[in-house]
Structure 1
Amino acid sequence: MSPEQRLEGLVLRSSPLGESDRLLTLLSAGEGLTRLAAPGARKPKSSLAGAVPLAVLSLQVGGRSGLRRVRQLQVLRNFSALAERLETLSAAQGLAELALQLVPTDQAVEGVLDDLLLQLGRLELVVKERQGALEALAIAVQGAVHLLALGGYALPLASCARSGEPLDPPIGNWEWRCSLLPAEGFVIGPVVGAQLVLNASELALLQRLLRPALPRRRDGELMGPEPVWLRLLQLQELWSREHLGRSARSWRLLRQCFGDGASS
């Protein structure tokens, strides 16, 4: 590796380092997660003061081994507007936390950065266009579903984990049920000990989240009411806790935006 290098990526995390430095965790398309020291970045007039979470930076870094240091930076984009609303900020922080869990250090995971930037851009529109809070919740849920799939922990939405039958929810049949067993997957029918049970409409909505766009009705409104989206948020939390060891802490804050502070 050369002593001087250019890096471009999204700052997922920033923490104090020493008296005035910052320790950055950068997500880049080429290197995955990279930890960098930003000398003096906590000083008000520092040229590196733009090294903050949810900023897209172009960096010149130096150092042959150990913790590399930021020499120069250019802010390409800053998602600071997300802090104007608690639901958009907590949704963005939750997605950033999930990316930190899914992407290895110094190992790229194709598509994660692009998808994360897409979801952050959508959250930014929620703020700028004064969209409803439910939009932020739906973006968070879909973003989590996408990141889990890209990171190798996709929700197994194609077939029953026990019978192998296709998971083809019969819309309109209100008696049909599908159970989530995080250690196995989805099982058709109500199962004793299941941590979450979905009806046909809820499973169909979850399956549609694998597509690029959010599911909407003809009038442009989101499919699914708020309680269903909160259940889907809980579902991906359960899946993450089982397969990644924990779920993002920011999801609890997002729940509180909707009067639902219960832990999953």
Structure 2
Amino acid sequence: MNRTYKVTGIILKATPLGESDRLLTILTQELGLIRVAAPGARKSRSRLGGRIGLFVVNQFLIAKGRSLDKITQADIVNSHSGLSKNLGKLAAGQYLAELVLSQALSEQPQAELFLLLEEHLSRLEQLPNLPTPENAIAIVACLTHGIFHLLALAGIAPQVQLCCITQHPLIPNFADPNWVAGFSIDSGGIVNLAGLAATSGNRTSSRVAEGTGRYLTDTVPVRIDARLAADRLAILQQLAEPDLRNVWGAHHSEAWIAVERLLRRYAEYHFARSIRSASLIDTYLAASG
């Protein structure tokens, strides 16, 4: 029986284990999420010390154990060292890692999830480290794009092209400064608010008559969690694209921040857990002005 195995993985979490070891949570292409021990990793002269930092990608040789497998060798593929040079980039990386931990599976291949996380971490790493408001928004835009892609891979991305109620296309109207669309977290995406009949606070006991776009009042309430101006909806409708780096500056900073926070609420609702790293992003933005 083979007592060792090889995997390529990215370290998502590390915690102390015993007197000198570390317990690592690693997303691997071959086996999905694994938890293994890094023996002696907390010792000053450990040969694993510089190879088991957060977001480091290694080719691991792992020995099977009775209760916990152990790393015997680690060869660095990509260190993502640039993320640690900027608080915003590091916080955004941790945010994405939390989402991955919420959806990754164990004991089955997770190559697509692995590659998606690698791609968005690399995009964050390539951003400048300048302490400017413009760079802070670029980090938020990159993070927001990654959030949406991870939600899409999990099969729970919000519906942003069609109204959740009518299933008709909803196009942002930039010509009307008062135009807004709705967003319903539990209904799964955007809602056309035109013709909304009966509301109570931020709830409506309405439905849309087939083919008319008008709301009726004889069914289960639809909760409207946010109202989206045209620029917010435009961002949401672009997030499925593979690359948005050329259009990050086309939207105001407030719009990117609003969309990130909306997707944050959406992800927390659907994964049923809070995103602790999100508070670091808020702190970073406040400090960046």
By how many angstroms is 1:128 displaced? 6.0
**Relative to 1, partners in 2 of residues 1:111 and 1:188: Cα closer, same or farther, differing over 3 Å?**
same
What code does the residue aligned with 1:246 have? R
2:283 is matched with: 256
Asked if 2 retains the 8 angstrom alpha-carbon contact of 1:98 and 1:247, the reply is no
- Mapping of residues 90-129 of structure 1, within 5 Å: 90-127=91-128
In structure 1, what is the Cα distance between the partners aligned to 2:66 and 2:252? Answer: 51
TM-score by length of 1: 0.90
What amino acid does structure 2 have at the position aligned with 1:90?
A
Per the TM alignment, residue 119 of structure 1 is displaced from its structure 2 partner at its CA by 1.2
- Are residue 177 (structure 1) and residue 160 (structure 2) matched? no
SS of the residue 1:43 aligns to: coil
Cα-to-partner distance string for 1:60-118 (whole Å, 9 max, x where unaligned): 00116532110111111112321221111101110111111111222334522112111
What is the CA deviation profile of residues 187-215 of structure 1, one whole-angstrom value per residue up to 9, with x for unaligned ones?
11177242211122211111111111116
1:188 maps to what in 2?
192
Q: Which has the larger radius of gyration?
A: 2
Alpha-carbon contact 1:12-1:25 (below 8 Å) kept? yes
Q: How does 1:31-50 map to 2 (within 5 A)?
A: 31-49=31-49, 50=51
Return closer, same or farther for 1:109/1:197 CA change in 2, 3 Å cut-off: farther
1:129–1:31 CA distance, 2 compared to 1 (3 A) = farther
Q: Which SS does the other structure have where 1:222 is aligned?
A: helix
| Aligned residue type for 1:172 | A
Q: Which moved more, 1:43-52 or 1:174-183?
A: 174-183
- Per the TM alignment, residue 177 of structure 1 is displaced from its structure 2 partner at its CA by 1.7
Answer yes or no: is 1:161 the counterpart of 2:167.
no
**Whole-angstrom CA distance in 2 between matches of 1:65 and 1:197:** 54
Name the amino acid aligned to 2:10.
L
2: CA distance, partners of 1:177 / 1:109: 39
Q: For 2:101, what is the secondary structure of its paired residue?
A: helix
Partners of 1:28 and 1:152 in 2: CA distance: 20
Please tell me whether the aligned partners of residues 81 and 127 of structure 1 are also in contact (alpha carbons under 8 angstroms): no
Percent identity, aligned pairs only?
31
Letter of the 2:124 partner, please give it: L
The match for 2:213 is none
Q: Taking structure 2 as the reference length, what is the TM-score of the superposition?
A: 0.82
Find runs of 4+ consecutive structure 1 residues off by over 4 angstroms: 128-131
- Note if 1:29 corresponds to 2:29: yes
SS of residue paired to 1:91:
helix
Is the Cα–Cα contact under 8 Å of residues 28 and 111 in structure 2 kept in the other structure?
Answer: no
Give the distance between the partners of 1:233 and 1:92, measured in 2 at CA.
14
Which of these residues, 232, 239, 248, is aligned with residue 259 of structure 2?
232
Match of 1:139 in 2: 142
Measured after TM superposition, the shift of residue 46 of structure 1 is 0.9
CA RMSD of aligned residues (A): 2.1
**1: CA distance between counterparts of 2:122 and 2:97?**
13
**8 Å contact kept, 1:123–1:136:** yes
Aligned residue for 1:22, secondary structure, equals strand
Structure 1: gaps (5+ residues): none
Pairs aligned (count): 257
